[in-house]
Amino acid sequence: MKCWIDTVREVQSFAARQLSPEAASDFTDVEQWKLVQLHLATALAELEAVQGDTPEVEGELVLALLMGYGVSVRNGRNVSRVLERAEQVLPRITDPVLKCKLAAYCYVEFPDEDLLAMARSLLLELKQQGRGDEVKLVEELIAD
């Protein structure tokens, strides 16, 4: 059985590719798209059952879930549960890159000015530190 952290990385990587126009796969084959969606749904169900033992681990799990739901056929109840988890963990995350990404993905699902302000503030701080490449996709997500 694959470790759940591998699933987190796989979902985040897949979702990032799908959200990036220049790298997104073109699923013109319906059967291929169905297989990808089935694999993604299985991975997301596996991750929903896992609880992180630190704020950063929980944050990575929640981020993977939000990213995955952002590029999949999904159930609104699942997204609501993940947003509740995000609301609990976001204030406790100390890693600014993770916090910026999570705030931005929460904002995409739940457009709240406080989330947008947090993501923008962290993005600016990270860019000033020369770490803008780590959150390039966030910049695209929250652009005006």
Q: Long-range contacts made by residues 38-44, C-beta under 8 angstroms, separation at least 24?
A: 40/11, 40/14, 40/68, 40/71, 40/72, 41/72, 41/73, 43/7, 43/10, 43/11, 43/68, 44/11, 44/68, 44/69, 44/72, 44/78
Please tell me the pTM assigned to this model: 0.87
> In total, how many domains does the chain have?
1
Q: Please give the average per-residue pLDDT across 122-141, as a whole number.
A: 90
- The distance of Cα 135 from the centroid of its chain, to the nearest Å, equals 12
d(CA 55, CA 93): 5
pLDDT band at 33 (very low <50, low <70, confident <90, very high): confident
pLDDT tens-digit map of 62-80: 999 999 998 887 788 899 9
Tell me, what amino acid is at 57?
Answer: V
pLDDT for position 1: 37
Which CATH number belongs to the domain containing residue 126 in this structure?
Answer: 1.25.40.810
- Identify the weakest region by mean pLDDT among 2-6, 23-27, 52-56, 64-68: 23-27
Domain that residue 14 falls in: 4-21+29-141
pLDDT band at 23 (very low <50, low <70, confident <90, very high): low
Q: Write out the chain in H/E/C secondary structure.
A: CCCHHHHHHHHHHHHHHHHCCCCCCCCCCHHHHHHHHHHHHHHHHHHHCCCCCCHHHHHHHHHHHHHHHHCCCCCHHHHHHHHHHHHHHHHHCCCHHHHHHHHHHHHHHCCCHHHHHHHHHHHHHHHHCCCHHHHHHHHHHCCC
